[in-house]
């Protein structure tokens, strides 16, 4: 019989593979960008890091931007699978403001217990055309309440 940790890792691997399959099947691979991110969250107070995939616009300037974030600290680990959309406003400068949000699947790993909870994120960010971005997220339900992060899209 597999241990709780083995079952948890198996579930995490399946979720990651499913998310990757959904993201990569939306458009051709050459039209997508990938990026990395890191930052801090509040409630729980953690450092997080992760990666995202961004599609070309699915409608007007709306892009699908799923991401995976791993938060560590405060005696727990949070694996967040965020299925977010971002609307990019037009800008004559090199900087572009975007807003968005979407549902989240959060796997919370405590010392002796794992929980899988749903959440929802609302985000606002500013991105430079060269790839650097700064983002703030507010979480509802069982997502971290607040996140501040920076990242780079390739």
> Looking at residue 109, which CATH number applies to its domain?
2.40.160.20
- The pLDDT assigned to 11 comes to 58
Structural domains counted in the chain: 1
With helix as H, strand as E and coil as C, how does 87-135 read? EECCCCCCEEEEEEEEEEEEEEECCCCEEEEEEEEEEEEEEECCCEEEE
Q: Is the pLDDT of residue 28 over 80?
A: no
- In angstroms, rounded to a whole number, what is the distance separating the alpha carbons of residues 97 and 112? 42
What pTM does this model have? 0.79
Domain that residue 32 falls in: 4-153
**DSSP structure class, residue 27:** S
Alpha-carbon distance values, 26 to 65, 120, 134 (Å): 11, 21, 25
Split at pLDDT 50, 70, 90, the class of 93 is very high
pLDDT in tens, 94-151: 999 999 999 999 999 988 888 999 999 999 999 999 999 999 999 999 999 999 999 9
- Of the candidates 83, 87, 29, 34, the one whose C-alpha atom is nearest the C-alpha of residue 58 is 87
- The pLDDT assigned to 113 comes to 87
Work out the percent of the chain whose per-residue pLDDT is above 90.
75
pLDDT in tens, 63-76: 999 999 999 999 99
């Amino acid at each position: 019989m597999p241990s709780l940790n083995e079952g948890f890792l198996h579930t995490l691997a399946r979720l990651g593979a499913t998310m990757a399959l959904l993201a990569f099947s939306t458009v051709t691979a050459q039209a997508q960008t990938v990026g990395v991110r890191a930052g801090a969250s509040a409630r729980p107070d953690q450092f997080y890091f992760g990666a995202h995939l961004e599609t070309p616009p699915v409608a007007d300037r709306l892009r699908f931007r799923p991401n995976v974030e791993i938060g560590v600290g405060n005696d727990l680990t949070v694996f967040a699978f965020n299925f977010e959309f971002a609307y990019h406003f037009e800008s004559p400068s090199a900087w572009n403001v975007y807003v968005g949000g979407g549902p989240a699947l959060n796997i919370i790993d405590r010392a002796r217990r794992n929980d899988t909870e749903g959440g929802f994120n609302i985000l606002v960010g500013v991105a430079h055309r060269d790839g650097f971005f700064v983002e703030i997220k507010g979480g509802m339900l069982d997502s971290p309440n607040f996140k501040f992060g920076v990242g780079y899209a390739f």
